[in-house]
Chain A
Amino acid sequence: MTALGADAVADVVRAEYGRVVAGLIRRFGDIQLAEDALGEALVIALERWPQDGVPPNPAGWLTTTAHRKALDHLRREKVRDEKYAEAAMLTDDTIPEPTGPVTDDRLRLIFTCCHPALAEPARVALTLRLLGGLTVAEIANAFLVPETTMAQRITRAKAKIAKARIPYRIPDQADIAERLEGVLAVLYLVYNEGYLSSSADNADRQDLAEEAIRLTRAVRSISSGIGSPPEVDGLLALMLLSQARRPARIAAGGSLVTLDEQDRTRWDADLIDEGHALVRECLRRNAPGPYQIQAAIQAVHTDALDASLTDWAQIAALYDQLMVLQPTPIVALNRAVAVAELDGPHVALAVVDGLKLTAYAPWHATRADLLRRLGREDDARRAYAAAIATTENPAERAWLASRRESLGGPTSRRGSRA
């Protein structure tokens, strides 16, 4: 056993949360009970582990401890006699081993969380809470809503699952076909939260990013029965090609490194190969969708050995396709970045200024960069400040601050003779 600080213990706990809670929900068929029991086990872990060290199998320890706590709860609540009898039959303390996609507890749980009888914002929130182990405060932050609102949303969804008896079971082929789109949408959002965390504590959440990839692979394997829709491959490729750049994305000092400045030799070649193969397969099937197009854009980026070799015309053409399917201001903003490379920052700025995504840090950051390239340093400085004010992410803030610094102070510029 190794002794660890409380922060490190919290990291272990967060990484194991989804697996443990999904197993408990399978055993007890009750989300609230599973969460309460795990909560108690976590309190004990946070007391003991910093002194005694983390046990060799933290997920197993948490499962066993939470399982006992859940049985204690059931014993105390005589009303739940029937459930107690069921649970007592399952008192084996063995750790549920991952045995493939269909018996995967977490995969079952995501189909429960993404049930069409739940409102979409609740689906994403529940998945992040139960499978991602995010706190209610973190989820609220990610969706820019007050914490009390998010807490109510999650509580209401859990109450509906319990009262209306939304089942927790392996989805059949008909369910998969009907719910796949919703599940993919949630996995995409979970990956995004892992790729660039919305919290002030982490640049990214690798556990979430990896979990999203793992679940997408699992969904892909169970959707083969309905001919594995190409959007599943598209989403997986999109995740893999984004993940491939991870080793080059964050500098030693914790600041974000933008695509044009990344050391491309540090990209993960295996992930790129796998992602490119999926994109080629999607092209062959010729049924484009939003995830496939975004994956193709990533494929063009990761094809270039040097940023200067990027095929921007191809990227702009792909964004044009994406705009047809998803005419949102965020897609338009990303398209404008390609336009800046093709037609110059002046043309791109006119597009960006028309979008008015004032609560969205990348909008301010893109504007700032275009203003900088146009030599409008004072405007750029204000735009960087606005970008910093709209993001909590420490790596993004560090990068934006360094960009702003590189402009030099307003007075020093005026006083410079160079």
Chain B
Amino acid sequence: MTKYMLSVVGTVDDEMPSDEVMQEMYATVGRFNDKLTEAGKWVFGGGLAPIESSTTVDATGDKPTVTDGPFSEAKEFLGGFWIIEAADLDEALQWAKEGSAACGGAVEVRPFDDASQ
């Protein structure tokens, strides 16, 4: 088994969906999460609060700094993610297709490094 991170990428231009749409999405993602858990593939996952709520900490210099906002100036940011266990990339891609349909966003599939597992 390999751990894969399935990232849901958002952009700053994305419009905030209506409450109704959000509720519907929470429900489908919930069902998908249950399916992952039952299959024994679930490791962790969740949706993140809006990008404005992030804070960046950098302790690589002499003195740690704390800055308001995201690390990157990029227009894309992580909106949520799953970490799953899968036998191989084909299985991970299959879960990613379901996850993408459930959350209504593109999903990036990336394996964890062997050495970190």
Binding site for B on A (CB under 8 A): 115, 117, 163-167, 175
Contacts and interface: CB of A to CB of B under 8 A. Distances in A.
B68 interface: no
B90 A164 contact: no
A112 to B, nearest CB: 10
Nearest to A162: B114
B57 interface: no
Contacts of A166: 88-90
A98 to B, nearest CB: 25
A163 B88 contact: no
Query: What is the interface of chain B mostly: helix, strand, loop, or mixed?
Result: mixed
B113 A163 contact: yes
A15 B90 CA distance: 31
B87 to A, nearest CB: 8
Given A117-B89, A167-B90, 7 more contacts: A117-B93, A164-B109, A164-B110, A164-B111, A165-B2, A165-B111, A167-B89
23 contacts: A115-B89, A117-B89, A117-B93, A163-B111, A163-B113, A163-B114, A164-B89, A164-B109, A164-B110, A164-B111, A165-B2, A165-B87, A165-B88, A165-B89, A165-B111, A166-B88, A166-B89, A166-B90, A167-B87, A167-B88, A167-B89, A167-B90, A175-B90
A160 to B, nearest CB: 9
Interface in B94-112: 109-111
Contacts of A117: 89, 93
Interface string B3-44: 000000000000000000000000000000000000000000
Nearest to A171: B90
A166 B93 CA distance: 10
Contacts of B114: 163
Q: Which of B2, B88, B90 gathers the greatest number of chain A CB atoms within 10 Å?
A: B90
A11 B92 CA distance: 41
Nearest to B93: A117
Interface residues of B, number: 11
A211 B38 CA distance: 45
Q: Which of A117, A164, A165 gathers the greatest number of chain B CB atoms within 10 Å?
A: A165
Contacts of A163: 111, 113-114
Contacts of A167: 87-90
A305 B89 CA distance: 52
Contacts of B113: 163
Contacts of B110: 164
Interface string B55-90: 000000000000000000000000000000001111
Contacts of A175: 90
A166 B89 CA distance: 5
A163 B89 CA distance: 9
A133 B68 CA distance: 55
A183 B87 CA distance: 23
B12 to A, nearest CB: 28
A117 B96 CA distance: 13
Nearest to B111: A164
Contacts of B111: 163-165
A94 B103 CA distance: 51
A235 to B, nearest CB: 25
Nearest to A161: B89
A196 to B, nearest CB: 35
A257 to B, nearest CB: 47
A75 B108 CA distance: 36
A247 to B, nearest CB: 43
B5 to A, nearest CB: 11
A89 to B, nearest CB: 19
A172 to B, nearest CB: 9
A167 B94 CA distance: 13
Contacts of B2: 165
A167 B110 CA distance: 15
Nearest to B86: A165
B80 to A, nearest CB: 21
Nearest to B91: A167
A163 B88 CA distance: 10
A22 B31 CA distance: 41
